[in-house]
Structure 1
Amino acid sequence: MSYSETTRVRGLPSAFAPLGLSGLTGLTGAPGRSRPAGPTVGAPTRPEPAGPDPVRPAGAGRPVAVPDRPDGHRPHPGRPGDWLRFAPVQPLYRARAAQRLAVLAYHGVTDPRSFGAQLDRLRRLAVPVSLEAVQRAVAEQRPLPPRSVLITFDDADRSVLTHALPELTRRGIPAAAFVISELIGTDRPFWWHEAAFLARHGGRARSICTDRPSQLLPRLKSLPDPDRRRSLQELRVSAHRRPPRQEQLTPEDLLALRDARVAIGNHTQGHPCLGRCDAATVRAEITGAHDALTRWLGEPPVAFAYPDGGHDPRAEAVLDELGYRLGFLSDHRLGPRLPEHPLQISRLQVDSTTSARRFDTILSGLEPAYRRWRGQSVA
């Protein structure tokens, strides 16, 4: 039975309007289930793209809970990429993405084998580029090659060295790692890991009135930075167990990464939410990390990743003053091959366990567009 005989559809959302596809049809109900209202495809007003029947799993359209990322963000609600891969607009989004820059933002690499498979896919479908190449494109005002992809890591836990680097080196792919300077050479856990552990083991803070540990991190992030730090200290005092230690990268590890084509960038001293900091704290967080990295690396860093991914104009002013060339957001978007705002470069959120189908729809920009239409937050 043909696609048009079996499928009931609704118009694509306005997120697809940039491609002129707002009237095109193709996202469907689950097989075997009728869906209310909506014209059939029997007499389309536009030529219908060829391709396999798109699949929408039962329950799609309802938010699906997913595990938190290591830093407390909720990454990609549900798994839309697995079924969006079959949407008729995916080839069109992929063609459009060829003229965009994809910057992938990883955190830790928990599955080296899956990460390696993603890298193999990138070598087939894209052109991996280095941080230096992006910087050179900005300096020379010459766009990067079509299908350019830059791989980045935020927070830079040891898995970047132990799991990611061997896979990158094996394939000759460059990357960039943005580090939290006050953790380098220590065995301290990331503060969001520590806070979650303390809350599970009896920790309490006056500014956070909740008995649900899952609500702790969002509330901590919403506090002014002095209150966040004070609340974290209260959690430490009141909890009946101390969190396990977490071995961090050392200055020598940073040099080893840099020598293996993983550029090192600034991610502040302690990873605060800059929007909750006063101007003096914003400056201290950036310059403190800048000075430490310059001392360890023997040269100043030229790239910065905003903690929590959001742009802060006060931070950008400090970066410009210090001579930074590139600044990265985590807004789950593609950007132009020649960045228009070098200190506000978009990135796509991904992790080492992302499925191949979903990985494709993230790279094409289709999954990010779908999430924006659904109103699903990124950070």
Structure 2
Amino acid sequence: MEADLAEWVLGLDLDFAKKLARVGLIHDPQAKPAATLAAFLKAYIDGRVDLKPATKIVRGQVVRDLNEYFGESREVQNITPGDADDFKQWLVGRKLAPTTIHKRLQVARSFFHAMRRRKLIDENPFEGVKSAATGIKNRQHFVTPSEIAQVLEACPDHHWRAIVGLSRFGGLRTPSETLSLRWQDIDWEAGRLTVTSPKTEHHADGASRVIPLFPELRKLLAESFDLAPVGAVYVVDERFRKSAMGPAGWMNPNLRTHFTRIVERAGLKPWPRLFHNLRASRETELVERYPLQVVTDWLGNTPKVAMRHYLMTTDEHFAAAVRDDNLTAEADADKAAQNAAQQAHVSTCRESQPVVAAHKKTPVLPGLANPCDTVQAFRMAGAGFEPTTSRL
């Protein structure tokens, strides 16, 4: 519209403006303001003060995907469920991993949920658009005590032995928790270790947790303590921490590349999710010795997360079950033989016994009587012992 006409329309009475809108001359005066995709996503991400910088970077990947597929100027109310289905197929066509597709659809769904909460759209087009994440069974690996001994032997120095030990024996997240551990966090006398957790600090009481100073861990930390320079603050050399800290928070400090070389030097094949499986192996061990709620409190996750992402079935579980089955079979065989012997004895007792005449006394020595003989001694005498009367 020209400026004068637009100004006249804005000043119209609401009822009259609705009449003009019904015949298509002007837009509905009560229509929701149009929101473009790029503008909303930027404002939404910038306004989430509860998100860490690193999290915003990860969600930025989904923002780029949505803007690339739908276009930055696309009005959000014009995106339909069918469009959301097509977006999913677009991700599939890019040969992304199933877990990546699952996560990106999950984030996109949360974006449009926020739009619906703000009354910008009537329905969430991504509701029900899901993709199953790949299971983690094929990426799980229990790092056995013998394997971790080989890895520790192959570590180039005490700093790496501390990194590996804190992850495998303490169950710490690497790099964030491992590289945040300070010497003042270790209570040698009480045998406790306070773990600062950057990942869960936004949860209630999640900024830190206390774990036992396990014997395997105490030995490695004592070595590091003896070799630490005067005035050292962190257990692991601070250069590792500096390389892991970026402008957006914890970033990849390239520990995985160096650790892969250490595992190969130990003569082992690098397992999937190198540090995660060290932590998962420790949690699997601890659950066999302590209640689940205790272990998850120590490791800083929940029973649900532990069951889904950490706890594993190992070869030792199968071996132990076989050993228990053999013991059970032997016990069952012994019990069956005992029952058979007892049954034979009962059967002997149930055989007919000779009836002793009432007027003959059979001496029985206390303690030597057969149980069956004892029963016989209390049998009712036969007819003729007392005169028969009509009342008996």
Q: TM-score band, normalised by the shorter chain?
A: under 0.3
**TM-score of the aligned structures, taking structure 1 as reference length:** 0.24
Q: Which structure is richer in relative contact order (CA contacts within 8 A, separation 6 or more)?
A: 1
**TM-score of the aligned structures, taking structure 2 as reference length:** 0.24
Between structure 1 and structure 2, the one with the greater Rg is 2
Higher helix share: 2
